[in-house]
Amino acid sequence: MPGYSHLTRLERDQIADLTAQGFGVTAIARAIGRAPSTISRELRRNAHADGTYRPIFAEGSYRYRRQRAAILENDKALRSFVVDRLSEGWTPEQITGWLRRGIEIGLRARRSKDKITDKTHISQRPAAANDRAEPGHWEADLVICKRARPLLVLHERKTRLTVMTRLASKTAAETVAAITDILARLDPGLRRSMTFDNGGEFARHVLIRDAFAMATFGPGLEPVAAIGPHSATPTPLGRRAASRT
């Protein structure tokens, strides 16, 4: 459709507020100046698994889906099947589950490959980050607990500031959405780099790098070692702590 533009973060905030107040699709569309079909599609595609609409999660889901769009663009039969099912009200999870049963001849679900790519090795992290000479260099970790939701932990190396938030799941989409929301609230001077381990939850780090012009670093494929006073290797504090619980 000529002139169409994707929803902004502000519009997603407005949708969440109006939805929480009980407004319907038509009323929300009128309030923010969008077509009802746009609002309906947004609520259908980007609502959380529990049925609620959360702007942070919705933004992350949108970014994640755009990055993976090439799969459908290159497979016309699969794209046609997915579009038809979505128009019938199927959820992405239902479509994936159906495809994995192998019933549709010639179609198959593409399993997630949340592997970290396009990363810069941690050995190339600047001395200012390793020596804690300037603020803005972060380390990210995800605490996995048996009886609680995953806990995302961001630690700033110089100031020792630690920011924590609970996630509903450990998917790459939700993780990048939460990190994006935290970083968006910070002064640009506090957004220089982020270091992460090899966990699949950080597979979409490129979105963070591009959105905030931040450098992103990660280790090689070998197991991550504990960090020492002068080591540049990140410590998976959360995973070690969780394993002791």
Q: Where are the domains of the chain?
A: 9-100, 120-244
**41 pLDDT higher than 60:** yes
3-state secondary structure 133-160: CCCCEEEEEEECCCCCCCEEEEEECCCC
Spatial neighbors of 90 by CB under 8 A, at least 6 apart, are 98
One-letter amino acid of 177: A
Q: What backbone phi and psi angles, to 5 degrees, belong to 87? A: -65, -25
Tens of pLDDT along 204-239? 888 888 888 899 998 753 333 333 333 343 333 333
Q: Give Cα separations from 2 to 5, 35, 190 (angstroms).
A: 9, 13, 39
Instruction: Identify the pLDDT of residue 171.
Output: 83
One-letter amino acid of 68: R
Spatial contact of 157 and 136, defined as CB atoms under 8 Å apart:
no
User: Whole-structure pTM over 0.95, yes or no?
Assistant: no
Instruction: Identify the pLDDT of residue 17.
Output: 92
Angle at 143 between CA 47 and CA 45, to 5 degrees: 10
CATH architecture of 120-244: 2-Layer Sandwich (3.30)
Tens of pLDDT along 47-103? 877 788 888 778 777 766 665 544 555 667 776 777 677 666 666 556 666 766 665
Q: How confident is the model at residue 241 (pLDDT cuts 50, 70, 90)?
A: very low
CA distance 155 to 137: 8
